[in-house]
Amino acid sequence: MAIKVGIVDTTFARVDMASAAIKKLNELTSKIEIIRYTVPGMKDLPVACKKLMDERGCEITMALGMPGGKDKDKVCAHEASQGLMVAQLLTNKHIIEVFVHEDEAKDGKELDWLAKKRAEEHAENVYYILFKPEFLQKNAGKGLRQGFEDAGAAKK
Amino acid sequence: MAIKVGIVDTTFARVDMASAAIKKLNELTSKIEIIRYTVPGMKDLPVACKKLMDERGCEITMALGMPGGKDKDKVCAHEASQGLMVAQLLTNKHIIEVFVHEDEAKDGKELDWLAKKRAEEHAENVYYILFKPEFLQKNAGKGLRQGFEDAGAAKK
Amino acid sequence: MAIKVGIVDTTFARVDMASAAIKKLNELTSKIEIIRYTVPGMKDLPVACKKLMDERGCEITMALGMPGGKDKDKVCAHEASQGLMVAQLLTNKHIIEVFVHEDEAKDGKELDWLAKKRAEEHAENVYYILFKPEFLQKNAGKGLRQGFEDAGAAKK
Amino acid sequence: MAIKVGIVDTTFARVDMASAAIKKLNELTSKIEIIRYTVPGMKDLPVACKKLMDERGCEITMALGMPGGKDKDKVCAHEASQGLMVAQLLTNKHIIEVFVHEDEAKDGKELDWLAKKRAEEHAENVYYILFKPEFLQKNAGKGLRQGFEDAGAAKK
Amino acid sequence: MAIKVGIVDTTFARVDMASAAIKKLNELTSKIEIIRYTVPGMKDLPVACKKLMDERGCEITMALGMPGGKDKDKVCAHEASQGLMVAQLLTNKHIIEVFVHEDEAKDGKELDWLAKKRAEEHAENVYYILFKPEFLQKNAGKGLRQGFEDAGAAKK
């Protein structure tokens, strides 16, 4: 029986990160079934993820969001992150948070590239958590990053 | 049987956002029953929403608030938002937060317009969540906003 | 049978806000029974309120506190507010937070006046929540304030 | 049967506040039994307090900590305080937080004096909560402080 | 039967702190069994720790993370810490947080040294909590630090 993976995203974000993540997950494995759930904004993500896990049997969920560049947006992102944290602790299941801040990219084109790339690389993390935990352990402390380049180990 | 929708607002706000939201919801559908609950301030919203969902059978709630422009008001808004987050996670139901910060508008007239507009557009989101989730999914990553203009997709 | 109302205050505060609130409540109605509980500081308020509601049958509680003017005091007030929020969500009962920041008033005399006035006006809110919810609804969006003057509606 | 009082402190703190608090409590009453539990740092205090109350029968606990003067330390103190808040709400028991910030004192000698003094005065609060709640009520709004001088009432 | 100790670390960190902690724990005692779990980033630590305690029988867990130097990273670390706090309170078990901020060290080499040293010294704390609580009590208020030098007692 396929393992259910939830993908929750927003109409607020300016890039369709969910499609990128879903495409990558389907390339990596056929042993999962994806359930997608789109909500208006970032602060709607935590309960949406929790509902997918409590009510629809998802084992793990990705929460895809794109905070704006203003101070108020940073506070919203913080509140959403805290909610995702509590949702995980109440379900004992991972929610992989994939947030791309609008001000991380220099223009719309780079934002589009960055958001999709980060969504894909975190989709790989979902795959490793579910099916290859030994890959993560082998890379412990290696300074891996999602989106931009890896930072690498501190001591070369 | 009608789906119950909670509308919680405050005497602190300077615009009657609830009436705007209720009018819009009734225009969109006759399949809901609205329960309104007015509390003194923003920080009273979370438990009021939770009571409507736990004790009066609401499936979803709108929390309408208007933080002032001072630093202290920002902290209050943050605390209220955190409460709304936890309330959602404890009930597995959505609370659509509609906060309009006093300093988002240049004067009282714009504030009145903005608050009602945002309340209406979030009322539409409540409608989509309940009855047309496919509309939200079709607009995932499209940069939708409530109140002021949409930001649009990052890549044209 | 009388409805039990909890009044929790502190020895840290520099004004006896509880007496002002209790006097006002007793003027407004004879249908309540007040249980008072004094704790050392603001951060002791949340569990005290929760105990009054869980263990002593209070339907609603007022939490009266007076944060000092320093940054550290602001953080304490924030922590206390978050606790009051969680206490409400765990009990499904309102806690009306009445905090007066020392730096809201220009001197001790005004602080004394402001703290008592705010406590009284929030006591009225407790009364409306319990007995006249329609009064609050009628004043939704009217910009009511407790202590200093009302802000009024945004659009005259 | 003696009432159990938990005293939790850290190896991170630079003053033995626990001994001062225990000495004071034993001077005030013989009706308590003290259980002491030392943890490495401030952020280990909340679960330690909760364990003493859930697993070892303590009715109330003192949490003694000493945050350093750096920004990072302030954040740790905030996190610890939030944890103490939640621990109280989950147990319905008081945890008296006694934090002394390193930068409250001008040198090591004053820090030692302040930390012990505050621990003692909060030990008195524990005693009042358990055995003389009427003392606290009589001093409501009197501007009491622990450590440095009392602020006093706002209106002389 | 051996006591199970969880060690949770990340691929985001730039130093393999887990191996240092595990080596130290195995030098100190043979009465434990270590379960290691590597996750992508800091914010995945809390639920991973909770899963080890709830689902795999760990009595205590170490959470090893390395926040970057940017403001956004500080917020992530704060969110992760809050999650670790709640995870402890929901399980009544200690999670020893070992965070090394990238900007604590002047270069990669020092960062490598600091991270391993702090991981080892917190591994000792895990050992003391489990097997020698009297050692911690003897050092209460002694200004112990993990990584850099001890601060020492305030009063010489």
CA C105 from chain center: how many Å? Answer: 18
Residue numbers of chain D with a pLDDT score lower than 70:
none
Q: What percent of chain B has pLDDT over 90?
A: 95
DSSP 8-class letter at B2? P
Cα separation, A14 vs B95, whole angstroms: 23
Nearest-by-Cβ selection for B136 from A11, A47, A51: A11
* Residue D115 β-bridge partners: none
Which token pair is C131?
């007995």
* β-strands B32-39, B3-10 pairing: parallel
Query: CA dist E61 to C122, D22, E51, E82, E92, Å?
Result: 46, 30, 10, 16, 12
What is the amino acid identity at position B15? V
Question: For residues A38 and A58, what is the distance between their CA atoms, to the nearest angstrom?
Answer: 15
* Rama region for D62: left / alpha / beta (φ>0; ψ in -120 to 50; rest): beta
Instruction: Mark out chain D residues that contact chain C at CB-CB < 8 A.
Output: 74, 78, 81-82, 84-86, 88-89, 92-97, 101, 122, 125, 129, 133, 136-137, 139-146, 151-156
Amino acid identity, residue E142? K
Asked if A154's CB is within 8 angstroms of E16's CB, the reply is: no
The closest of C3, C4, C11, C5 to C45, measured between CA atoms, is C11
B143 pLDDT band, cuts 50/70/90, is very high
* Dihedral sign for Cα atoms in the order A48, A53, A57, A61: positive
Partner residues linked to D9 by β-bridges? D38
Residues C83, B143: Cα–Cα separation, whole Å: 35
Residue C43 in contact with residue D86, Cβ under 8 Å? Answer: no
Maximum separation of any 2 CA atoms in chain B, in Å: 47
E62 φ/ψ angles, rounded to the nearest 5 degrees? -105, 135
Q: Residue E101's closest chain D neighbor by CA?
A: D72
Tell if the CB–CB gap between C108 and D74 is shorter than 8 Å. Answer: no
Nearest CB among A48, A79, A109 relative to B85 is that of A79
Q: Let me know if E149 is exposed, middle or buried by CB neighbors in 10 A (0-12, 13-18, 19+).
A: exposed
In chain C, where does DSSP find H-type helix?
17-28, 45-55, 71-91, 108-131, 133-138
* Partners of A108 in beta bridges: none
Q: For residue C75, what is the nearest residue in chain B, using CA coordinates? A: B75
Give the model confidence (pLDDT) of A87-103 as tens digits.
999 999 999 999 999 99
Compare CB distances from B85 to A37, A43, A55 and report the shortest one's residue.
A43
Are residues C15 and D153 in contact, defined by beta-carbon separation less than 8 angstroms?
Answer: yes
Say which of C81, C92, C139 has its CB closest to residue B79.
Answer: C81
For β-strands B60-65 and C3-10, DSSP reports them as unpaired
Res E4 pLDDT > 80: yes
The CATH number of the domain covering residues in A3-138 = 3.40.50.960
Which of C85, C88, C97 shows the shortest C-beta gap to B82?
A: C85
Alpha carbons within 13 angstroms on the beta-carbon side of residue B99 total 27
**In the 8-state DSSP scheme, what is residue E2?**
P
Asked if the Cβ–Cβ distance from E46 to A142 is below 8 Å, we say no
**Chain E residues within 8 angstroms (CB to CB) of chain A:** 9-19, 36-40, 43-44, 46-48, 50-51, 54-55, 68, 72, 75-76, 79-80, 82-83, 86-87, 90, 108-109, 111-112, 115
CA distance linking residue E85 with residue C20, whole number of Å: 38
* CB-closest option in A10, A43, A86 to B140: A10
Chain B residues with CB inside 8 Å of C81's CB? 43, 75-76, 79
Q: Got the DSSP string for chain A?
A: -PEEEEEEEESSSSS-HHHHHHHHHHHH-SSEEEEEEEESSGGGHHHHHHHHHHHS--SEEEEEE---SSHHHHHHHHHHHHHHHHHHHHHT--EEEEE--GGGSSSHHHHHHHHHHHHHHHHHHHHHHHH-HHHHHHTTTS---SSS-----S--
Q: In A, which residues are within 8 Å of B129 by CB distance? A: 39-40
Q: What is the mean pLDDT of chain A?
A: 97
Return the amino acid letter for D21. A
Give yes or no for a contact between B45 and B67, defined as CB atoms under 8 angstroms apart.
no
Burial D46-56 (b: 16+ CB within 10 A, else e): bbbbbbbbbee
Q: Which two tokens stand for residue C71?
A: 């940054």
In this complex, do C40 and D136 lie within 8 Å of one another by their Cβ atoms? Answer: yes
Q: Which of A119, A41, A115 is nearest to A79 (CA)?
A: A41
Partner-chain contact A86 B81, CB within 8 Å: no
The structure tokens listed for C18 are 């509880």
Q: How far is A152 from chain B (nearest CA, A)?
A: 30
Output DSSP code: residue C140: T
* Sequence-ordered list of residues with C-beta below 8 angstroms from that of C156, at least 6 positions apart, any chain: B108
Written as one string, the DSSP assignment of A10-22 is ESSSSS-HHHHHH
The whole-number pLDDT of residue B87 equals 98
* Contact call for residues A60 and A130 (beta carbons, < 8 A): yes
- As a 3-state breakdown, chain E gives helix, strand, coil percent values, each rounded to 5, of 50, 15, 30
pLDDT in tens, A38-85: 999 999 999 999 999 999 999 999 999 999 988 889 999 999 999 999
| Interchain pair D129, C39: CB under 8 A | yes
Find out whether C46 and C86 touch, Cβ atoms under 8 Å.
yes
Q: What is the pLDDT of residues E48-99, one digit of tens each?
A: 999 999 999 999 999 999 999 888 899 999 999 999 999 999 999 999 999 9
CA pair distance D100, D69, nearest whole angstrom: 10
CA atoms within 13 A on the CB side of D61: 34
E21-29 average pLDDT score:
98
Under an 8 A CB cutoff, do B81 and A44 touch? no
> For residues E143 and D121, what is the distance between their CA atoms, to the nearest angstrom?
22
Q: How many pairs of residues across A and B have Cβ atoms under 8 Å apart?
A: 109
pLDDT-derived band of residue B69, with 50, 70 and 90 as boundaries? confident
Residues B118-125, mean pLDDT to the nearest whole number: 98
Q: How confident is the model at residue C32 (pLDDT cuts 50, 70, 90)?
A: very high
The ranges assigned to domains in chain C are 3-138
Identify the pLDDT of residue E39: 98
pLDDT of residue D156: 74
Could you tell me the pLDDT band of residue C69, with boundaries at 50, 70 and 90? confident
Q: Taking the model in full, what pTM does it have?
A: 0.97
Residue with tokens 């990558």: A24
Q: Indicate if the pLDDT at residue C1 is higher than 90.
A: no
Yes or no: say if A45 and A8 are a contact pair by the CB < 8 Å rule. Answer: yes
Distance (Å) from the alpha carbon of B148 to chain C's nearest alpha carbon: 18
In the numeric block, which tokens belong to residue B102? 């006093």
Rounded Cα distance between B12 and A154, Å, is: 52
Phi and psi for A102 in degrees, rounded to 5? Answer: -50, -35
Residues E63, E75: Cα–Cα separation, whole Å: 17
Taking an 8 Å cut-off on Cβ atoms, the answer to whether D85 and C46 are in contact is yes
The answer to whether E39 and E12 are in contact (CB under 8 A) is no
Q: What percent of chain D has pLDDT over 90?
A: 95
Distance from CA of C32 to the nearest CA of D (A): 20
- Which residues of E have a CB under 8 Å from any CB of D? 74, 78, 81-82, 84-86, 88-89, 92-97, 101, 122, 125, 129, 133, 136-137, 139-146, 151-156
* H/E run at residue B134: helix B133-138
* Contact between C112 and D144 using a beta-carbon 8 Å cutoff: no
Cβ within 8 Å, pair E38-A139? yes
Q: Tens of pLDDT along E103-137?
A: 999 999 999 999 999 999 999 999 999 999 999 99
Q: φ, ψ for residue E46 (rounded to 5)?
A: -60, -50
Chain B residues with CB-CB distance to A18 below 8 A: 140-141
Q: Which of D78, A67, B71 is CA-nearest to residue E77?
A: D78
Name all chains with 3 or more CB-CB pairs below 8 Å to chain A. B, E
With CA atoms as reference, the chain A residue closest to E65 would be A141
